[in-house]
Amino acid sequence: MKFDKPAGDNPIDQLKVVGRPHDRIDGPMKTTGTATYAYEWHDKASNVAYGYVVGAAIAKGRITSMDLQAAQSAPGVLAVVTAKNAGSLGKGEKNTATLLGGPEVEHYHQAVALVVAETFEQARAAAQLVDVQYRRERGSWDLAAEKPGVTEAPEDQPDTHVGDFNQAFSSAALKLDASYTTPDQSHMAMEPHASMAVWEGEKLTVWTSNQMINWCRTDLAKTLKLPEENVRVISPYIGGGFGGKLFLRSDAVLAALGARAAKRPVKVMLPRPVIPNNTTHRPATIQHIRIGTDQSGHITAIAHESWSGNLPGGTPETAVQQTELLYAGANRFTGLRLAKLDLPEGNAMRAPGEAPGLMALEIAIDEMAEKAGIDPVAFRILNDTQVDPANPDRPFSRRQLVECLRTGAERFGWDRRNATPAQVKEGRWLVGMGMAAGFRNNMVMTSGARVHLDANGIVTVETDMTDIGTGSYTIIAQTAAEMAGVPLEKVVVRLGDSSFPVSAGSGGQWGANSSTAGVYAACVKLREAIANKLGFDPNTATFADEQVRDGERSARLADAAADGTLTAEDSIEFGDLEKQYQQSTFAGHFVEVGVDRATGEVRVRRMLAVCAAGRILNPKTARSQVIGAMTMGLGGALMEELAVDKRLGYFVNHDLAGYEVPVHADVPEQEVIFLDDTDPVSSPMKAKGVGELGLCGVSAAIVNAVYNATGVRVRDYPVTLDKLLASLPDVV
């Protein structure tokens, strides 16, 4: 199905099942432990062996020797795989670093060997016996030190210019010129990266934890130099990913290589302390923002530059993209700068680009509002735009930012905020309120599905879409139920298998909208087949209450499959509507904090998110996504930071003991409001993504609240108490 014009009325608009707050249909399996994760496929292969990864002990250099004899002679060992004996390997298109290193070492904890043994404990013990000698080389591991020498934009990420920023900024009545930093961050998903590989001749099946089945399959085939049709990837349940499992990772490659070497099925799980350095992370940024306004506070000039680092061949953190679209202003400049660093690969983490970009921009906007003497909410409303600032002929398909801000301000009690910092005291606590705008572009991706109707009236959906804890099973079932006119209990959803039609996968906030649109397309074809089978006109037949009706005539839905299961398959293919309309999602984030006057401890007390993200397919699962994102934003504001050893080039706090994330005691009252919003330009579902929008802007809202509470402006994340103590108001 081609989607190349705005959606009209369609069966989804009935909202009998879609748009309702249904419980997750996979919930009982998750809570009873019967949902099978990547390391738990105990009944799919017999005689399974276990692999343990040997990670590089240096960050840059070369392996000079590797003695495997002791490891190979250890109890239970079946094979030791290295780059030297693994055979000729390719490299996936989406991998920056080589997943099995050697003899060159590109980053710390790059996999350089896999020990396969009868038991996990034997493999782990033998891995300690692999004697690797290195020649360490000097590397670049400090973004701040590299920044002065990096002045040009990457070749494929040119600067953007609108109007004459330099002239407009120099003549602006009010100006802000400030720099902000965000640190390296780790995904820290609950489920580690894990895979099980089984060979049958030249055919390979990998059960793994991966967000994008087709990307994983194609890059695994390319890495192993196999025909794609010889590779099957299965990933029905994923214990969190946050972007860290978007791409093929070393666990899947090494499980396949280990299974081939041992001639046995092999499981590989990356230990928690290996994941931050071995896989990917969100790169640190240094961001320079300049804003100029006239005396009334209208933005006349805005510029945003961001520096980040990556391995050779890597991409920058696109932290300036929201600044191109969020606020009005005739004169604009944005630019990305990419430094070569020898740290582990930097890549997508939840809301890549906008999450760190808004961490800086939305502090800068607050600072500019203060300079202009305008309330922060009012300043943002004053500078709203309903069109792409770089192309005024291109309107937003839907833009409800102003309504998000006004609704949030009213609901949160913003009018009770004292605009003068450090004035509100409750015992030992300084109390403040802060807010920020949220923004995330709406992206869509070709997405397919196959649907079946059997003689019992059961509708089964098959697609390689994944569920990373987001509720994909449920919204896909809701879509099929709405289209077929059956209750949710009569829909079976099968996900995460590369033998199913290719779907969008879980990432970029495109998964829910795109995958359900793909199911919609397949269901349109199924409805046509059912109508034709029962002798109805497909264009006028209606489907409801397990019946098909047209005029006075009706028939049981199941009767269409009395002679055999009916099957239909289709994909949604998006046209070029994005050229005509800018498609984005918006939010208003509001936060109240308390800061201990003596210690600088920050406690977030209340959080509110007001979101405009098209039709909300399931308010219950969407709310869950947003409050999870808000919690992640709290972590980014106050505690999350990968500490870089700038002498040896690795992330020091590479486990949950040292890398702090929010716990229950840190999470306050959270409220989420979804504005009534449908966007027919987005898809037949008229929906958009919301799971990443809930993160975008949260950290800045917290930092702005800390400033309101204390009068201390922190521009370097995370806001740890050492950055507050020296400047806090006197206790006495």
C-alpha torsion angle, residues 240, 241, 247, 250 (rounded to 10): -70
Contact 5, 168 (CB under 8 A): no
Contact 299, 165 (CB under 8 A): no
Rg over alpha carbons for the chain, rounded to the nearest Å, is 27
Active-site residue flag, 137: no
Q: Between vectors from CA 27 to CA 265 and to CA 588, what angle results, nearest 5°? A: 115
Q: Which residue type does 108 have? A: Y
Within the chain, how many helices (H) and strands (E) appear?
Answer: 16, 32
Separation between Cα atoms, residue 231 and residue 238, nearest integer Å: 20
Q: What tokens does 26 get?
A: 């996979």
Separation between Cα atoms, residue 709 and residue 593, nearest integer Å: 7
Full 3-state SS string of 471-533: CHHHHHHHHHHHHHCCCHHHEEEECCECCCCCCCCCCCCCHHHHHHHHHHHHHHHHHHHHHHH
Q: Which residues contact 421 (CB under 8 A, 6 or more apart)?
A: 432, 707, 708, 709, 710, 711
Widest CA span in the chain: 85
Task: Name the phi and psi angles at 577, rounded to 5.
Answer: -60, -25
Separation between Cα atoms, residue 237 and residue 312, nearest integer Å: 33
**Sheet strand arrangement including 231-234:** 77-82, 111-117, 49-55, 266-269, 194-200, 203-208, 231-234
Cis omega (within 30 of 0) for bond into 192: no
Separation between Cα atoms, residue 128 and residue 21, nearest integer Å: 51
- Of 317, 362, 592, 692, catalytic: 692
Question: What one-character DSSP code corresponds to residue 652?
Answer: S
Q: Provide the 3-class DSSP secondary structure of residue 392.
A: strand
Q: What are the Cα distances from residue 711, in Å, to 97, 420, 457, 599? A: 44, 8, 64, 15
Separation between Cα atoms, residue 110 and residue 96, nearest integer Å: 12
Active site residues: 692
